[in-house]
A = this chain, B = another copy of it.
Amino acid sequence: MVTKCVNCPLARKPLFKPMSRDELAYMQRFKVGELVVDPRTSLLMEGSNSPQLYTTLRGMGLRYKTLPSGRRHVIGFVFPGDFIGLQAGVMGEMEHSVEASTSMTLCVFDRAEFWNFLKLRTDRAFDVIWLSAVEEHFLGEALATVGQRTAVEKVAWALVRFYRRGKMLHMVEHGSMPLPYKQQDLADALGLSLVHTNKTLAKLRDRQLANWSDGILSVHDVDRLAALAQDDGSEVVTRPLL
């Protein structure tokens, strides 16, 4: 059973800019279907040229790049509401891969149709520009993190990101949220080795700052964790949903 845009469960989350019933109904015209994938499935491959654009409806995944040497760098983590495939849509081909970490459900939009849509609704085109700018901002933060922060700061920074994002998506209950990634994924995102990431996580656990085990992240005091992470920027901005 395919979810109708009007009933989109994401639109109600605080992370997103409110959408009118009309807007949601209008989106429906471009949704050509839903894609359901199992964990560990590749959604988009580096160098591929997918004719589709997706919005994550359920589940989580990650974006990564592979170097010629075989090493992998995780560029970012995909959460519900994230828009995927814009780069391929614009640049002709993907420059990074996207893989499902959990089982995922994605809203599928037709690429060609989508461009027409943006031409008609210039306000939505601005939303896309806005999203790009936010993503750029995030990547800048990540770059500074990987480049300048120490291991503890890096891990703390990442957990704070996860937690804040989770909160805006109503995924947090009693200070805990699901975080279905492997330690290796986090290590590859922060430029740390698996072993050191593991030991750093243990350190945060010992200090009662954050506990990530069995796919559940628990944070008692986000602000204390953020302070440790040298993280000043606090609030997550509400973003448009596509």
Contacts and interface: CB of A to CB of B under 8 A. Distances in A.
A68 B232 contact: yes
A194 interface: no
A35 interface: no
Query: Which of A90, A134, A188 gathers the greatest number of chain B CB atoms within 10 Å?
Result: A90
Q: Name, among A68, A126, A129, the residue most crowded by chain B CB atoms within 10 Å (CB to CB).
A: A129
B136 A139 contact: yes
Contacts of A230: 67-69
A139 to B, nearest CB: 4
Contacts of A122: 118-119, 122, 125
A12 to B, nearest CB: 24
A197 to B, nearest CB: 12
B146 A143 contact: yes
Contacts of A146: 143, 146-147, 191
Contacts of A191: 146-148
A87 interface: yes
14 contacts: A65-B141, A67-B148, A73-B148, A86-B129, A90-B129, A91-B130, A91-B237, A118-B126, A125-B125, A132-B132, A135-B136, A143-B143, A147-B188, A147-B191
B148 A75 contact: no
Interface in A126-165: 126, 128-130, 132-137, 139-144, 146-149
Contacts of A148: 67, 69, 71-73, 191
A137 to B, nearest CB: 5
B140 A96 contact: yes
A95 interface: yes
A224 B191 CA distance: 26
A139 B143 contact: yes
Nearest to A73: B144
Interface string A77-99: 00000000011001100011000
A190 interface: yes
A95 B147 CA distance: 17
Contacts of A136: 87, 132, 135-136, 139
